[in-house]
Amino acid sequence: MARNQTNLLQGTLDLLVLKALALEEMHGLGVSRRIEQITKGTFHVRPGSLFPALHRMEEAGWLASSWGESENNRRAKYYRLTTKGRRQLEIEADLWSRISLAMASALQATTR
């Protein structure tokens, strides 16, 4: 693991995948690259974590998929957010905002 990378916290992978797919559909490797890009290299999602999450999120109705051709002319499964997935992104983002504010407050609190 690179020095500036860190392990994903429990529950953050779904939010990052949903956010990565918010602008456009993309294949799994593209999702992984986008997560690394939007987190400025802090998170690198390995295929062993990413693909089960994509399948689980598709089963939940948050994602839809179709087969297409990747930039290197290989067959690839492309994922896109569904309406339900966009709603879930809002829910997850709101929850994460509340968690991060609570953690920031706890870390700033003085102890005696």
């339900």: which residue's tokens?
Answer: 84
Model confidence pLDDT, tens digit, residues 38-78: 999 999 999 999 999 999 999 999 999 999 998 889 999 99
Give the β-pairing of 26-27 and 63-69: unpaired
Q: Six-digit token pair at 45? A: 């999602």
The candidate with the shortest Cα–Cα distance to 23, out of 13, 35, 12, 11, is 35
């598709």: which residue's tokens?
Answer: 58
**Mean pLDDT of all residues in 80-106:** 95
Confidence band, pLDDT 50/70/90 cuts, at residue 109 = confident
Q: Is the pTM of this model over 0.85?
A: yes
Domain 12-108 belongs in CATH node 1.10.10.10: yes
